[in-house]
Chains A and B, each alone.
Chain A
Amino acid sequence: MQEAVLEIMSEKGDTVTTAVYEHPLVVRLCHWLNAISLFVLAGSGLQIFRAFPSFGPKVPQHVLINWPKAYAIGGWLGGALQWHLTFMWIYLVTGLVYVGYQLFSGHYRQVLFVPKDIRGLWPMVRYYFFFGRKPPVTEAYNSLQKQAYTTAIGLGVLSVLTGLAIWKPVQFSWLAWLMGGFHYARIWHFLVMWAIIAFVFGHLVMVVLHGWNNFVSMLTGWKKNPEYGPR
């Protein structure tokens, strides 16, 4: 196990570089495998949707969105289903391993949104969206980040459950029933996808805003010159 904090000092004793080991290998692997599978699942899911781009009756069919084929994966319904039914396993396993690791290692405490984080939400929202003062950075994740990442995990769970209800509406009839039946489970699955896409969009904006060192930490695990004090 690597030490979690690293400081490189000059001969005079000033700190030149500090670095924190933020993301263990298992988290980084899960992150990137999950990100790729999410991309494939959304793309192939939209191709599947193209086969019946409606949530109404089949007769007569009212097309909801003509999603362009160029922004979909799989080429045709059968191809898209192959991609979807293959990558859903990578998505599921990386999701389970990630959550399992966070719970097992106790790292979930860093990132899980709990009631005491509610207080910190508004100052962060004010800072990001209304030119407010920057709240002091005291933890690896601020309360708005915790909220976003916790919601993302919740959406991940919902995407699997709604997907399972569509894939196996008979064997998991109770699940489909909870969602209002197969028909509504399909709508929920679609909406959850857009919610996840919204999260990814916000996530990418933040990655760009927070610069290179932050991005590299998801590749190497080490974050150079973190904003918060290393413990």
Chain B
Amino acid sequence: MGIRSYQRKFKRMNRRELLKLAPVLALGAFAIPKFQEPLLKKGLAFSDWVSARMFRKGHLATTFADSELTPFPKFPINGYDVDDPQVDFDTWTLTTGGSVQEPGEYTLAQIQTLPKFRQNTRHVCVEGWDVIGRFGGARLSDYLNMIGADLNAKFVTVECADDYYESLDMETALHPQTLLCYEMYDQPLSRVHGAPVRLQIPTKVGYKQAKYLTDLKVTNVLKRVGYWEDQGYSEFYGL
């Protein structure tokens, strides 16, 4: 064989090696509009699946000294719609239903008969900012026990006075730091921060911590996940 045929052989070998990189082109599917959305949804769902596996029910979020608190006036007020949905405190109840033995209308006074817990924890927003706040309220797990909730159900869902809605996995709902929060910085929760009762969950990102609760349900089926989740945000987003 002459040099030429060796060089041709070398070229062919190079071409074969180049073709072996074809799997890289598979990523091109992300550039095709038709495949892009379902692929990204799958990626996000996988991340959520890993997140749920990472969650440890006994592991507590870090708590902070009073000196580390963000001053109350600098605690951001984040609403998606209105800051104050004009809740009438005199008639307010938490409408409770779903897989519970004692569904009904629960008043703030009834929630406040449960042991009160106070915690200085970090609030992390999906946007990237974080603050350390002081929160007080009843453990959601105590409330779920009081209403005789089926603790083997998968989700706790809430609805809010501003038409916001959210859902929580049962493991997080039963976490000892997950509060039905009615106090901030040792004062009754203010309207703009979600009075009379909001969720406060140091193991979740901010948007899962719904304000101005009106309804709470224990369920195995989610018709909708949450206001932001249904627009494409992470469903689990545990910290």
Please list the residues of chain A having a beta carbon within 8 angstroms of any beta carbon in chain B: 2, 6, 8-11, 16-17, 19, 25, 28-29, 32-33, 36, 40, 48-49, 51-52, 54, 57-59, 61, 77-79, 81-83, 85-90, 168-171, 173, 177, 181-183, 186, 216, 219-222
Contact = CB atoms under 8 A, between A and B. Distances in A.
Given A32-B24, A78-B233, A86-B47, A168 B54 contact: yes
Given A8-B6, A54-B129, A89-B43, A169 B24 contact: no
Given A78-B232, A86-B44, A182-B130, A58 B239 contact: no
A175 to B, nearest CB: 12
B21 A32 contact: yes
B43 A173 contact: no
B203 interface: yes
14 contacts: A8-B6, A32-B24, A33-B24, A33-B27, A57-B131, A81-B234, A82-B44, A86-B40, A88-B47, A168-B51, A170-B238, A173-B61, A173-B62, A222-B17
Interface stretch (B92-100, B108-116, B118-126, B136-144): B118-126
B222 interface: no
Nearest to B19: A220
Contact of A171 (B3, B18, B55): B55
A120 B225 CA distance: 59
B59 A171 contact: yes
B127 interface: yes
B43 A10 contact: no
Nearest to A183: B130
Per DSSP, chain A at the interface is helix
Contacts of B91: none
Interface string B34-57: 000001111110110001001110
Nearest to A177: B62
Interface of B: 2-3, 6-7, 10, 13-15, 17-18, 20-21, 23-24, 27, 30, 39-44, 46-47, 51, 54-56, 59, 61-62, 70, 73-76, 122, 124-131, 202-203, 228, 231-234, 238-239
Nearest to A216: B14
A137 B2 CA distance: 31
Nearest to A222: B14
A16 B3 CA distance: 8
A54 B128 CA distance: 9
B57 to A, nearest CB: 11
Given A29-B24, A36-B24, A171-B239, A89 B130 contact: no
A186 B128 contact: yes
Contacts of A19: 10
B152 to A, nearest CB: 24
Q: Which 6 residue pairs across A and B have the least CB separation, nearest first? A: A86-B43, A52-B128, A58-B129, A78-B232, A82-B40, A51-B127
B182 to A, nearest CB: 23
A222 B127 contact: no
Contacts of A186: 128
B228 to A, nearest CB: 7
B203 to A, nearest CB: 5
Contacts of B232: 78-79, 82
B128 A49 contact: yes
Given A32-B24, A82-B40, A222-B14, A170 B62 contact: yes
Given A36-B24, A168-B239, A6 B10 contact: yes
Given A52-B128, A89-B47, A170-B238, 14 more contacts: A8-B3, A8-B6, A17-B7, A19-B10, A29-B24, A40-B30, A52-B127, A83-B40, A170-B61, A170-B239, A171-B55, A173-B61, A219-B21, A220-B15
